[in-house]
Amino acid sequence: MTRLIGTALVALTLASGGALAAERTVRLTIENMTCATCPIVVRQSLKAVPGVGDVKVSMADKTAVVTFDDAKATVSALVDATTKAGFPSAQQQ
């Protein structure tokens, strides 16, 4: 019986997406935002990355704050997404 419970707990942990996944939030500095449409394009490009949850883009600060599942997305993938959309970015330290 104990073995069955242990096996069930392991299976549940694996099925839940893994115990090591964590939600992360990063702030990116975004280049080339010059008009009211730019933050919309930046937001859409970031939301298209699998694992991204919340995205807040500030035209005034030229930044994006992105919350994502670090088991599904990386900061590099976020930077690549904005760069491919015409808005090079970098993680703020």
- Show the tokens assigned to 75: 């900061």
Kindly report the pTM of this predicted structure. 0.78
From CA 18, how far away is CA 12, in angstroms rounded? 9
Q: Is 22 left (phi over 0), alpha (psi -120 to 50) or beta?
A: beta
- 59-65-67 Cα angle (round to 5): 150
Tens-level pLDDT at each residue, the chain (93 residues): 555 454 544 444 545 555 567 999 999 999 999 999 999 999 999 999 999 999 999 999 999 999 999 999 999 999 999 999 999 999 998
Domains present along the chain, CATH in parentheses: 21-91 (3.30.70.100)
H or E stretch at 41: helix 38-47
Q: For the sheet containing 23-30, what is the strand order?
A: 52-58, 63-69, 23-30, 89-91
